[in-house]
Structure 1
């Protein structure tokens, strides 16, 4: 782990981890507005922490072909004030142990900084957000026809939604639900871009689930989005749904969560990333072959991920969308792109 400050000799590993986690949560509570922010706490990540500015979270990779030295895959924007992005980047690049680094799913503010430094910056998809105060939870009008139909079908088939702690649910039932879901999705999770399912209550996360006649059909986890120490909204981070659940079950959960978040005065619900959707050449100098690769994967690689289905479904919520990017120091090459896929466990 790289750090912006040293740790005292004689501290136990538990003390070091506790100190690190406290520092991470301090910055997260102040600057964790991005949809990937809470995911920086997931297991398996390492960190560069600067006491005054914030931190970067990354997946490390050692691989004889794709990362013969070392590769860091940074997850999302820096957890820092945007005005401090550049200073934090400089501190990271100057730190001992710095490695080839790919910045994944970053917003325009950080992409601008990297592009000004002469680095190619490629579009990698779009993120979706719902303005909660403006969202019509009654789903009136033709724009919400799909959502209305899905919601109504689940209701008619007796699906009920509840919120509580994840520990209120039976752990064996949750494990079976998750295992069945993963088997339908290729047998494993992509790490990094999605937090794994943890069978414990996590600070400020919200847990909703659907049942029918007492049987667990679906679980959805919503991660907090922070600004200045306050939870201003949530990311719909994780869903697990049985194959035999009525169509629309997960949407019924999301719509019930929206209704509750609106009543609490929250500002935004993020639906997260649609990978490789609407990828264009973009406003920055970029690698044209990556644009072509991402477009091809979006259209022709559902066996890796349901790219088009993800995009179609999130679009039906009629939220706002905005581009997200990836870049690399040094500049991206094909081996480094394959290294990113390896770090994310795409293959």
Structure 2
């Protein structure tokens, strides 16, 4: 199911990094043309494998094998296919025909791909909401009652002397950057997550933007923004990763995001994605689905903050007054409750 022959790259591939391997170049060919989804750039993350169709596009997945919940293998596919929406069905059929895993779980997919998967008879459950800020309409002055939390967080950071700037990671002291990452991870279980959150890479990456905050010269926080592409141009960014030391004043991360929003808006970008709030805002299942999985998600959202602070994530992102888009999860040939353990394994939480 992996590609075995090279392709003739089109003009889009010319924008790929010059040191890309042939495999990377194939991914960039489709990413630069069809990578407008928030999770598209995450398809390049370490540990991800790829099903590539030479004419249509590709799927990125994390392979999982476990003696209890994935004894015959599981693929956890990350986000929508990197392909034209018109080709989703053909790409899914090609993947299903070549699939060498007993189960495939499609994680954090949008309505267009969910329509295709459901039409093939596979169960599709709601998975949460994604948040998109339309930059042209965002009020940089944060006026009005609905922005009151953001104003308070931004003003708190300013009053504490927090200063934000953009640059390349290569401009930072390596030891300082590694210490920021180590200190943050030590409070988050000691390891980075994968899949839904692309792991932080401690060197400059193609197209990725970096903003950080300092106070009196000390590095307080870092935020990473992944590019979103359409027809060879950057249309926006995903706020993918954040790091902050424990002593960072409240509002430091929001001060970084707000400055990034203003910068991207000034450049004429279309959108900033705040990413997924998993298992949040259940509005009723839109497709034939597994009811036990739906109940399991609801229980995790309400009672399992030790796994992931779902409610806190939703509360914070809601204050940006972004547009909400439903996210879905689907399974081939089916989606069972115990598959959740396989998903948690793939994401690095087990």
**Pairwise TM-score range, normalised by the shorter structure:** over 0.9
For structure 2, the 5+ residue unaligned runs are 8-18
CA distance in 2, matches of 1:231, 1:30: 10
Q: Which residue of 1 aligns with 2:195?
A: 192
Matched, 1:131 2:134: yes
Give the Cα separation in 1 of the matches to 2:299 and 2:180: 32
Bigger mean CA deviation after superposition, 139-148 or 284-293: 284-293
Alignment equivalent of 2:258, drawn from 245, 255, 258: 255
1:116–1:255 distance in 2 versus 1, CA, 3 Å? same
Alignment of 1:1-347 (within 5 A): 2-6=1-5, 18-95=21-98, 97-347=100-350
Shift of 1:234: 0.3
- Give the 3-state SS of the residue equivalent to 1:207 in structure 2: strand
Paired residues in the alignment total 339
Determine if contact 1:304/1:346 at 8 Å carries over to the other structure: yes
Contact persistence 1:281–1:288 (CA under 8 A): no
Q: Deviations over 1:286-322 (max 9, x none)?
A: 1111111111111111111111111111000001001
8 Å contact 1:279–1:294 — kept in the other structure?
no
Q: Under a length normalisation based on structure 1, what TM-score does the superposition of the two structures give?
A: 0.95
User: TM-score, normalised to structure 2's length?
Assistant: 0.94
The CA deviation at 1:98 is 5.0
Question: What secondary structure does 1:334 align onto?
Answer: coil
2:145 and 2:337 map into 1 onto residues whose CA distance is 44
Question: Which string of whole-angstrom CA distances, capped at 9 and with x for unpartnered residues, describes residues 245-304 of structure 1?
Answer: 110001000010011111100000000000110124411011111111111111111111
Q: CA deviation at 1:40?
A: 0.4
In the alignment, the residues of structure 2 paired with residue 96 and residue 241 of structure 1 have an alpha-carbon distance, to the nearest angstrom, of 40
Structure 1 segments unaligned to the other structure (5+ residues) = 9-15
Cα distance change on mapping 1:201 and 1:17 into 2, 3 Å: closer
Shift of 1:99: 4.1
Structure 1 residues 49 and 99 mapped into 2: Cα distance closer, same or farther (>3 Å)? farther
